[in-house]
Amino acid sequence: MILGSRRLLSFCALLSTALWLRGAAPEVSVTHPMPAPAWARLERRLLAEQVPACREFYQKYFDESGYLQCVVRWGANDGPDDAFENFNGWPELHALGADTSIQELYRRGHEGLLRQYTAARTVETPIAREGMYHREFIVQSDWMHHGEGLQLFNRMGLSLGGGDVRYAERARRFAGFYTGEDPAAPNYDPRLKLIRSMQNGSRGPMLRPATALDWVGDSFDVSRFVAQHGENTYAQFLAHYEEYTDVAGDHFLNLGATLLPTVAFLATQDPKYKQWLVEYMGACLERMRANGGILPSYVALDGTIGGLARRWWGNAYGWGFSPVNPVTGRRENRNRIPRAVVGFTNAVLLTGNLQYADAWRGMMDAVNANAREIDGRRQYPTMHGAQGWYGWQPSPWSVGALELWYLTQRPADRDRVTDNEWLEFLAGRKPGYPEAALNRDLETLTRRTARFRADTTPAERRLADNMLSFNPATIDALTRLMQGALVPGRDGGLLFARLRYFDPLQRRAGVPPDVAALVTTLSDRSTTVTLVNLSANEPRTVVMQAGAYAEHRIETVTGGDRAVVVDGPHVAVQLAPGSGAVLTVTHRRFALEPTQRFPWERPLR
């Protein structure tokens, strides 16, 4: 009876897929034989070999409940964000086409870590005495560490689609911590349109000066562990954060908070999340205009840029932040403005308006306008403090240049990006790049697997970040080559991809078995991709979507001398056994409202 029910469900799913393909997806048929390219075999190998390595990694460092086997601590060096980072790349790997067991493992680990860090408590550190997590979110941190810890959650939608009720509920709750909707987490001032502190979370903002203890967490015997930041004693841990006191007021790091309403919009399509993002980012653009085109790192609680002293460069991790490293005894420049790019990319994704990219370009020009001759050489600043610009370097300040070009596709913005093999390949100047990049990632996978297999550190001497460099998920080459995409970074940002793929028969994200894809050119209005079916016996159907979240509208798909009119975000490609084709996709970018729902979960038109 059970077997019969399963067969019936399977038959119904196949019938539903067939009807959807007939009614909702324009089709391209590929029948021309194509010998298996080397890059295609390497893609399939990389997708396959990561699965057992990830499973082995999980079995070594997590228990059956999804708890990380380490000493659980609070702190910016080795705290909760690092625990979740052990799954970096796993949702993206599944969404590329890796085996479904990857999804099962990262979901079990995510649930386990939420329980583990909700139960974990500090003794000395005030904010976490009732739990390091509250309502399934870290109680208080800055958005450098929030972003790092949320990489897993933010990108799960790529793998889950739109049908996961728990994910959508969490997305709403987390966004509410920052939109002013949740009175228990008063992080946002809706009147002044600012986030009230750079230290914020599910228990609200920190409005007093931070202490080193707030940053470091409870005292412990450092000598029993391998500290990843070089400290040898707990006193050095505290000394590292002695100058991290200024946290109240809005900060450019808080643009990372735009991720949560963006994720909530992708999961629910509720327009209030887009409205909040437009409101907050609009206020940020106004502050940039009032500050000479530069996004300040300190906006006081009364809304003034820099407060009474007009110190727009203030706050920890700000434009003027150069604390002493106790390990070296030297001051180090720690301007974390690169983490603010994510706010501008989120705004373009949700609105399709390139004014946000224009504002970032304007900031690049405003910083570089302060270049000067030093010892006969042109030098460009990277920092600004009470004495003016400093942190000089011989090349122009180009933070965010790759993201800027990707959004605008303008040749002048491309010229700001230097030393990028992938872009050289897209320009036709590095034809061997795909095989070289895929082989490098295979070598990385082998090296990381060997390292975690050789790790004999017992759980009682592990910190949460000790295993991060062993994580076998290796997605960089696959992301760029298959999807024509930017590799999501540690800021917790979302995937920006020209193309994504879905398996309609298995009803999941990712290419079907035996299918490989290579994006070879990108421009404002078109994308060139080669699709190939490596199976000599089985036909494959792949649904190709424009944009990571269906934000682009496909106009036509041309293969050979035949063009198919699509006029929508996706197209079904039927690949005969052993066939392949070079397809040219014309499109209008950022023309549609983005969503994480899979093609068959969306309205027909």
Residue-wise pLDDT tens digits, 268-306: 999 999 999 999 999 999 999 999 999 999 999 999 999
pLDDT-derived band at 604 (thresholds 50, 70, 90) equals low
Q: Check pLDDT > 70 for residue 17.
A: no
Q: Give me the half-sphere count of Cα atoms (radius 13 Å) on the Cβ side of residue 265.
A: 24
Assigned architecture for domain 14-36+498-601? Sandwich (2.60)
SS (H, E, C) 7-52: HHHHHHHHHHHHHHHHHHCCEEEECCECCCCHHHHHHHHHHHHHHH
- Contact predicate 397/367, CB 8 Å: yes
- Report the range of poorest mean pLDDT among 16-20, 244-248, 503-507: 16-20
Helix, strand, coil: what percent of the chain each, to 5?
A: 40, 15, 40
Token pair for residue 128? 């976490």
Question: Which residues 6+ apart lie within 8 Å of 117 measured at CB?
Answer: 72, 80, 83, 131, 132, 133, 138
Predicted confidence at residue 14, as pLDDT, reads: 59
- Report the range of poorest mean pLDDT among 13-17, 233-237, 340-344, 427-431: 13-17
Helix (H) or strand (E) holding 112: helix 101-119
pLDDT-derived band at 573 (thresholds 50, 70, 90) equals very high
pLDDT-derived band at 13 (thresholds 50, 70, 90) equals low
Predicted confidence at residue 603, as pLDDT, reads: 77
- Contact predicate 554/568, CB 8 Å: yes
Q: Check pLDDT > 80 for residue 6.
A: no
pLDDT-derived band at 388 (thresholds 50, 70, 90) equals very high
Q: Check pLDDT > 80 for residue 19.
A: no
What is the distance between the alpha carbons of residues 468 and 500, in angstroms, rounded to a whole number? 27
pLDDT-derived band at 15 (thresholds 50, 70, 90) equals low
Predicted confidence at residue 517, as pLDDT, reads: 99
Token pair for residue 245? 């006191």
Predicted confidence at residue 10, as pLDDT, reads: 54
The pLDDT > 90 percentage for the chain reads 93
- Contact predicate 416/406, CB 8 Å: no
Q: Check pLDDT > 80 for residue 228.
A: no
SS (H, E, C) 233-284: CHHHHHHHCCCCCCCECECHHHHHHHHHHHHHHHHHCCHHHHHHHHHHHHHH
Predicted confidence at residue 2, as pLDDT, reads: 45
pLDDT-derived band at 18 (thresholds 50, 70, 90) equals low
pLDDT-derived band at 9 (thresholds 50, 70, 90) equals very low
What is the reported pTM?
0.96
How crowded is residue 352: how many other Cβ atoms within 10 Å of its Cβ? 16
Name 586's bridge partners.
526, 556
Q: What integer is the mean pLDDT of 241-245?
A: 97
Q: Check pLDDT > 50 for residue 3.
A: no
Domain residue limits, the chain: 14-36+498-601
The whole-chain average pLDDT of the chain stands at: 95
pLDDT-derived band at 560 (thresholds 50, 70, 90) equals confident
| Residue 485, phi-psi category: left (phi > 0), alpha (psi -120 to 50), beta (remainder) | beta
- Report the range of poorest mean pLDDT among 232-236, 348-352, 409-413, 538-542: 232-236
Predicted confidence at residue 561, as pLDDT, reads: 82
